[in-house]
Amino acid sequence: MLEPAAATTPVRIAERIAVHSDSRPARFVSAATLLLVAGWLVLLVAHSGYLRHPDFDEILWPLTVLFCVGFIARGIFLGRPVTYGHAAWAGVAVVTALGANVLQFERAGEALVVAAGLILMWPKSARPQPEALAQVSALIDKTSDDPLAVFAMHSLKSYYFNADRSAAIAYRTRAGFAVVGGDPIGDESRFPALVRDFAAMCRSHGWRVAVLGCSEHALPLWTDSRTVGHHLRAVAVGRDVVVDVQAFDLVGRKYRNLRQGVQRTRNAGITTEVVDERALDGALRAELQQVMELSHGGRYERGFSMLLDGALLGRYPGIRLIIARDNLGVVQGFHRYVTSGGGTDVSLDVPWRRPGSPNGIDERLTVDMICRTRSEGARRLSLAFAAFPEIFAEKDRTRPQQVCYSAIHMLDPLIALESLYRYLRKFHALGERRYVLVQMSTLPLVAFALLSLEFMPRLRVNVARGPAA
């Protein structure tokens, strides 16, 4: 079992806050200084004959000071605290700038002065909290009817708990944003107060809030600007794909393609088995590792809001694998599933296939897992997330839809969203919409934060080291 997290995590000296900038006096002083420097620059340009005889060197130092003060003022207005680490590095930049000027490297020195202002107000990052995974796992077990709840477990995520630790929010920080993945987990009655306190914590750190994968019923938690501190715009990005396990069957014309895929694997002699990830022996783990590495992108981990990490390491409780073997006993593919809601909800993490494996492997694994979970009393099985299904389903796309369609296919080297949609629609199980909530005035920066969190690759840990203790 995972061990409970400590109540507090020691903070390194470099991460300790030296100055809280979120105050009216600090904002007033920064605004006044910025206006003063800007006025200095305007007067210099107006009275030095610069417009008649431009000389960039004459205004370079005022411009340097203006940019430096501008970065500091921006950080103050965003409420970013100054840490001892940032202050130290900013000091190093200023001292180096002085040395560069002494050595006649004026341009380098001025660039370092600007960098000092940027470094001083650089956004503070939240530390990952893998030690909290035991508590997070317990809250997930109490959360039902939320296909993304299980993905709150991640060794790189940070967590914000309410006072009695009956509810939590999973998030990561990037580029000055606290990006929340999915909905809160735990006691739903505590969610409004939890979100309010989380937003206040973010303001105290100078983070702006963004939400990736918010469900329809959780939208009211985030759309009140008085709670969050700024207005968040909800943009629909897709739908959950959730199979009603107890009602699912393969009867009818609409399941024809699905039946054919399953039957092809049976004709090819494919068999399946379900195993606990923590019960894998060394030989099976090595074979699954081989399949994973041969799969597209299998040597790297990606994902934030809808993927776990640590495949085959036995890091998390309740993870099961369904494995497909050919008639020679060779593994041809496997899926990774995780449960929540005390076993009522099962969610697919990632599927892997050996190149050249028979067609229909994924369909067979999914259908067999549905049958298995039905016998165990599960109510719902979440396959994945169907991004932008309306765009893919539309044959006569409008011009804006065609632009979006082309932009989506730019992500094909990372994730083939249309191919995923074509597979998921075979199950006729499109469910609740999911949204991204962002502050539109920060769109370029928040888009960078979201895309880098979801798609930036991380080298996968070699499972030869064995499962987590």
CATH code, 158: 3.40.630
In 124-283, DSSP assigns E strands to 158-161, 167-174, 177-181, 185-186, 208-215, 233-244, 271-276
Residue 219 lies in a domain: yes
Residue 436 lies in a domain: no
| 233 shares a domain with 243 | no
| 253 shares a domain with 201 | no
Could you tell me the CATH number of the domain that includes residue 351? Answer: 3.40.630.30
Instruction: Out of 238, 260, 287, pick the residue that ends a domain.
Output: 238
| 398 shares a domain with 316 | yes
For residue 371, what are the domain limits? 239-428
Report the candidate in 210, 173, 206 with the shortest Cα–Cα distance to residue 27: 206
Integer Rg of the chain from CA? 26
| 139 shares a domain with 101 | no
The span from the CA of 131 to the CA of 2, in Å, is 8
| 141 shares a domain with 252 | no
Residue 136 lies in a domain: yes
- Helix axis angle, 256-267 relative to 361-375, nearest 10°? 100
| 204 shares a domain with 115 | no
CB 382 within 8 A of CB 149: no
| 169 shares a domain with 255 | no
| 370 shares a domain with 328 | yes
| 382 shares a domain with 249 | yes
User: What's the number of domains the chain is made of?
Assistant: 3
Report the candidate in 318, 323, 328, 337 with the shortest Cα–Cα distance to residue 292: 323
| 187 shares a domain with 63 | no
The span from the CA of 117 to the CA of 115, in Å, is 5
Report the candidate in 381, 383, 382, 402 with the shortest Cα–Cα distance to residue 392: 402
Report the candidate in 183, 176, 223, 233 with the shortest Cα–Cα distance to residue 202: 176
| 297 shares a domain with 204 | no
Residue 246 lies in a domain: yes
Question: How confident is the model at residue 44, as a pLDDT?
Answer: 67
The whole-number mean pLDDT for each consecutive block of 10 residues of the chain, a chain of 469 residues, reads 48 75 71 75 64 65 83 85 91 94 89 93 92 95 92 96 97 96 96 96 93 95 91 94 94 93 95 96 94 82 90 92 96 96 93 93 97 95 90 86 87 83 92 95 94 88 54
| 69 shares a domain with 17 | yes
Residue 469 lies in a domain: no
What number of other Cβ atoms are within 10 A of residue 325's Cβ? 17
Residue 401 lies in a domain: yes
